[in-house]
Amino acid sequence: MARKTGLGKGLNSLMGGADAEVSGAIVPDTVLPLDDIRPNKGQPRKNFDEQALEELADSIKQNGVLQPILVRKKGQKYEIVAGERRYQASKKAGMTDIPVVVKDISDEDVFKLALIENLQRSDLDPIEEAQGFKTLIDKSGMTQAQLGQALSKSRPAIANALRLLDLPKEVQQMMSERKLTAGHARAILAVPSEEGRIKLAQKVVDDGLTVRQTETLAPLFSDMDRQPPKRVPTPQSYKRAARQLRLALDTNVKVKRLRNKNKIEIEFATEEDLARLVEQLSKVAMGGGDQHEDA
């Protein structure tokens, strides 16, 4: 049965306490051909800095791999648990084998340890980090608080990281390419719509805006998302009534619905004009019964 390592133990408990990639303190178990080793498909880090990889490859050409990678037996091959960057750089350097430490590690702990390694060395971009947190929570059933405790991070830090996954894929890609920071992303998340978030993110990248400038612009992009209320067409009966009243009173009259109330607006120019309208309306009110009977 695979030995459970525990999330908090990390790599130190498995590899003798070394925490530097170039440390020579760890004695490898053996040397394995690179062809016998395969990367872990669940590796939380998806993007490797090509320039940094080339620099490491040059160092390996001159000095060799000074710290073994951590692997586990997987079928007839070996799977990388930690150290894929050294593995990739060794391939670039033209090496045929690499020193390894072989451990019996469970499927669950493989991802945990790979995530911890990258977090300890700050190798993950914010989106990779957030995806790693989500995967750990989904696989282990831990709460955000428990994950934060295991990784020495606060629960709000875990929650803020996970919120980045609410961003549109286009914006997440900008973050993976280091065009946007987590601070920019939090400001962009204040915009409610996906379209508005994409537009603001693109403006940040195009104009090289600071986080503060992005925070200032976010409300403007939020206002752009708000659709004006649909105008309800005026009923034909209202239009006919307004036309009849205009003819009868010899002034402009509007019949309309405003804030869920029906209203009649009668215009007048002067006090004398108002008195004339009152007199006309009074006559209609007092004589309306007789007019109806005569009709």
* Catalytic residue annotation: 84
Separation of alpha carbons 206 and 67, rounded Å: 41
Determine the straight-line distance between the first and last CA of the chain, rounded to whole angstroms: 102
Contact 284, 244 (CB under 8 A): no
User: In terms of DSSP bridges, do strands 97-102 and 69-74 run parallel, antiparallel, or are they unpaired?
Assistant: parallel
Separation of alpha carbons 168 and 195, rounded Å: 9
The closest of 135, 118, 52 to 80, measured between CA atoms, is 118
The closest of 127, 130, 121 to 52, measured between CA atoms, is 121
Residue type, 104: D
Contact 150, 140 (CB under 8 A): no
- Cβ contacts of 277 within 8 Å, gap of 6 or more: 249, 251, 266, 268
